Amino acid sequence: MSAGLLVAIIVIVVVVLALAWVVQRRQRTARLRKQFGPEYDRAISDSGSRQAAEQELEERRTRRQKLVIVALDVPARDRYLEQWRLVQARFVDSPPEATRAADRLISEVMRERGYPVEDFEQRAADISVDHPQVVDDYRAAHTVAEANERSEATTEDLRQALVHYRSLFEDLLEVDEPGTSTGREEAAIEDDEAAVGRDDVAVGRDEVAVARDGAAPVSRDEAAARDQAGTTDASPTTTSTPPERRTTEEAR
User: At 126, is the pLDDT very low, low, confident or very high (cuts 50, 70, 90)?
Assistant: very high
Tally of structural domains, the chain:
2
Determine the average pLDDT of the residues in 7-13.
79
Q: 31: domain range? A: 21-66
In a domain, residue 158? The reply is: yes
In a domain, residue 82? The reply is: yes
Chain centroid to CA 234? 58
169 and 84 within one domain: yes
User: At 96, is the pLDDT very low, low, confident or very high (cuts 50, 70, 90)?
Assistant: very high
87 and 53 within one domain: no
Per-residue confidence (pLDDT) for residue 179, from 0 to 100: 39
140 and 83 within one domain: yes
CA distance 86 to 94: 12
Cβ 78 vs Cβ 181: under 8 Å: yes
In a domain, residue 156? The reply is: yes
Give the up-direction half-sphere exposure of residue 148: CA atoms within 13 A in the CB hemisphere. 24
In a domain, residue 113? The reply is: yes
Cβ 89 vs Cβ 101: under 8 Å: no
112 and 51 within one domain: no
78 and 169 within one domain: yes
Per-residue confidence (pLDDT) for residue 19, from 0 to 100: 81
103 and 35 within one domain: no
Q: Domain boundary residue among 156, 173, 190? A: 173
Question: Could you tell me which residue, 234 or 38, shows the higher pLDDT?
Answer: 38
In a domain, residue 228? The reply is: no
- pTM more than 0.75: no
- In angstroms and rounded to an integer, the radius of gyration of the C-alpha atoms of the chain is 37
168 and 100 within one domain: yes
In a domain, residue 44? The reply is: yes
39 and 106 within one domain: no
Give the up-direction half-sphere exposure of residue 192: CA atoms within 13 A in the CB hemisphere. 6
Q: Among 96, 59, 88, which Cα is nearest to 170's? A: 88
Q: H or E stretch including 249?
A: helix 243-251
